[in-house]
Amino acid sequence: MKRIALIGMPNTGKSTLFNRMTGGSARVGNWPGITVELLSGKILLGGDMVEIIDLPGIYDLHGYSDDEQVVRHFLHDNVPDLTLVILNATQIERQMSLLLQLKQLNMNIVVLLNMSDEAKKFGITIDCAKMAEMLGLPIFLLTGKYGMGYQEAMHAITNALRYRTPGMAEELRSQLEQDEHIEREMARLMKHAVQVPSRLPDNLTERLDKLMLHPLLGLPIFFAIMYLLFQGIFLFGQPMQIGIAAGFGWLHDSVLAPTLTGLPTPLQGLLLDGIYNGVGTVAAFVPIIVLFFLFMAIIEDSGYLSRAAFLMDALMAKLGLDGRGFVMLLMGFGCNVPALMGTRVMRSRAMRLLTMLVIPFSLCSARLQVFVFITAALFSPQAAPLVLFSLYLFSFGAAILTALLFKNKFKNSEPFVLELPPYRFPTLRQMWLRGWHEVTHFLRRATQFIIAGVVLVWLLTHIPFSAVPASSDTLSGMIGDWLHPLFAPIGITPELTIALIFGFVAKEIVIGSLAVIYGLSGNALGGALAHQLDWVQAYSFMLFTLIYTPCLSTIATLKSESKDNAFMLFSIFWSLGLAWLLSLLFYQGARFLGY
């Protein structure tokens, strides 16, 4: 099958064009020579199936960034039959350098000048025929977003595929020796084929930036937008989550449970409470992920995310992160899973890993449920808000501490020089494709892992089948006893240890598991907890719950996004260790002070 590769600088509309070409049928896949996954899709062109590959955006073919290395290795090991070089027509002046570098490799190239709509608005005129003649390459002006000029370009692409691949220079020429030549060539092309008005019209972007990046108002506006985003996702997301849970419950009660009654009890339990619940756990994330990325598409495509980086950089640079990481951290307070997936906008792997290490400390809505229940049971109504607030402080504190401790281990080596693109509004199609794509990605990568985890915890809390589920006679009870020397110094009882094992799956089920463990629910459970625990123990338990691994879905996402099991394990053990240490300090400190 013939291969077409898309190459361009970041933000030139490569993904948009790629989505238009593949109709959203893209899949991620692995390629020889590189470790990251690339998006590719198969389409019918001129009667043949061809594969189109979206390469990461690069500034320079000889560059040092992670993405630039990926593209180099890809081209080296998978010479494409045709390369589509995508340039932003409004920035053609500087983007031409990449095209000239690629041209030197003697590849089969078609040049696409994207964003013709913006170029027109800015009064930039490009003589494509002239430029094509000077370069000896086919050149087309088009807009990937709205489709103008697309058909002609596709026609030319189909034709260009008929030629044999001329083959590439043995080695990608290593250094920048040709740069001088490239500069001269660029100047010549600009002079003859492009006209840029000397001063751009005072446009919308400039006026919006005056407000959005205002020295005093910028940050308050940023936080207001974050707040709205956050509220928006959960306002729409929670009813959907509840709906899905209800649907699953209905299917369980009225269809599955009755049909499975003939089976032996342990098998029933395994199928229904193990596997089926696992599927339900995965499904509960679907609405949140879709919504998150619908909104993220707006924030990101509009260009606001780079503005957030601008506003927050002074603070974030000290933590070894950037402002985009801060946005993801904030979003993590809703749900860690999409926040982790969202870190993909950061192109430096080291910075991305550091951000992924920090995000799980965000006090997500599932953990909040646990804390609300326990504070209501053990603290006075006056103290409860303070207790909750202090947990948020611990959440931020753990995140900052982690960033500071590990910023040298995950040292960002990429220069922090970002483009601030003009404000653009994504089309509904773009937003929807993004949400859809991310959800399928999550489902494909995380489902098995999550179901396996849920089943494992079910087995731990039910074997031997003769014992009362989740009691001290089950495997989990034995683990609880066995871990007792470790948990006694932080005031956590064996019963609570079993609940923590459940909490490994999802924090939503912690209270439910306590209900099973104590055989009580609601106020009665609260009363029993208040009777058995004092506030120091309860707070220590909450602290541990806050800091240790948020849930299986988070772990599955850490694994699939980092593609590095060692990193996933590191994150788990670091958070467990930190949770234990903080709880120990708190518990022993409080006891020492006489509480």
Partner 1 sequence: MPANTLASLHIGETATIVSIHAEEALHQRLLALGFRTGKQIELIRKASFSGPLQVRIGTTDIMLRRTEAAKIKVSKP
Ligand X SMILES: Nc1nc2c(ncn2[C@@H]2O[C@H](COP(=O)(O)OP(=O)(O)O)[C@@H](O)[C@H]2O)c(=O)[nH]1
- Measured CA to CA, the distance from residue 343 to residue 349 in angstroms comes to 10
| Residue 117 sits in the site that holds ligand X (CB under 6 A) | yes
- Measured CA to CA, the distance from residue 249 to residue 512 in angstroms comes to 15
- Measured CA to CA, the distance from residue 227 to residue 366 in angstroms comes to 18
Nearer to ligand X, 379 or 423 (CB): 423
Name the region of 594 (left: φ>0; alpha: ψ -120 to 50; beta: rest): left
Residue 401 is encoded by which pair of tokens? 């501490």
Our CA angle for 378, 482, 464, nearest 5°, is: 95
| Residue 59 sits in the site that holds partner 1 (CB under 8 A) | yes
| Residue 13 interaction partner, one of partner 1, ligand X, none, beta carbon < 5-8 Å per kind | ligand X
Alpha carbon separation from 194 to 91, 92, 117, 127 (Å, rounded): 11, 9, 16, 6
Among 11-19, 247-255, 490-498, 543-551, which window interacts with ligand X (CB under 6 A)?
11-19
Judged by CB under 8 A, which of 131, 309, 339, 460 binds partner 1?
A: 309
- Measured CA to CA, the distance from residue 307 to residue 421 in angstroms comes to 9
List, as one string, the DSSP characters of 237-272.
Answer: HHHHHHHHHHHHHHHIIIIIHHHTTTS-HHHHHIII
Judged by CB under 6 A, which of 7, 12, 111, 552 binds ligand X?
A: 12
Locate tokens 């990193």: which residue? 567
| Residue 416 sits in the site that holds partner 1 (CB under 8 A) | yes
| Residue 24 sits in the site that holds ligand X (CB under 6 A) | no
Q: What is the DSSP letter of 534?
A: -
Nearer to ligand X, 17 or 284 (CB): 17
Among 216-224, 232-240, 430-438, 504-512, which window interacts with partner 1 (CB under 8 A)?
216-224
Judged by CB under 6 A, which of 52, 53, 55, 57 binds ligand X?
A: 57
Nearer to partner 1, 310 or 541 (CB): 310
Q: Determine phi and psi for 175, rounding to 5 degrees.
A: -110, -175
Least gap, CB of 529 to partner 1 (angstroms): 45
| Residue 415 interaction partner, one of ligand X, partner 1, none, beta carbon < 5-8 Å per kind | partner 1
Q: Is residue 489 reached through a cis peptide bond, with omega within 30 degrees of 0 on the bond before it?
A: no
Tell me the one-letter amino acid at 287.
P
Report whether 476 contacts 504 (CB < 8 A).
Answer: no
Least gap, CB of 20 to ligand X (angstroms): 9
| Tally of CB atoms within 10 A around 565 | 10
| Residue 549 sits in the site that holds ligand X (CB under 6 A) | no
Nearer to partner 1, 168 or 219 (CB): 219
Strands in 109-114's sheet, in edge-to-edge order, are 27-29, 38-45, 48-54, 2-8, 82-88, 109-114, 139-141
Locate tokens 């092309």: which residue? 189
| Residue 117 sits in the site that holds partner 1 (CB under 8 A) | no
Helix (H) or strand (E) holding 294: helix 277-301
Nearer to ligand X, 63 or 397 (CB): 63
| Residue 144 interaction partner, one of ligand X, partner 1, none, beta carbon < 5-8 Å per kind | ligand X
| Residue 314 sits in the site that holds partner 1 (CB under 8 A) | yes
Nearer to ligand X, 153 or 451 (CB): 153
Nearer to ligand X, 13 or 526 (CB): 13
Q: Is residue 220 reached through a cis peptide bond, with omega within 30 degrees of 0 on the bond before it?
A: no
Least gap, CB of 60 to partner 1 (angstroms): 5
| Residue 124 interaction partner, one of ligand X, partner 1, none, beta carbon < 5-8 Å per kind | partner 1
Q: Is the dihedral of CA 444, 446, 449, 450 positive or negative?
A: negative
Least gap, CB of 23 to partner 1 (angstroms): 31
The residue number with the shortest CB distance to ligand X is 13
Judged by CB under 6 A, which of 4, 5, 7, 16 binds ligand X?
A: 16
Residues that bind ligand X (CB under 6 A): 8, 10-16, 57, 114-115, 117-118, 143-145, 301, 424, 426, 430
User: Which residues are at the interface with partner 1 (CB under 8 A)?
Assistant: 9, 59-60, 62-65, 90-91, 93-94, 97-98, 122, 124, 176, 179, 183, 196, 200, 205, 209, 213, 215-216, 218-219, 306, 309-311, 313-315, 317, 413-422
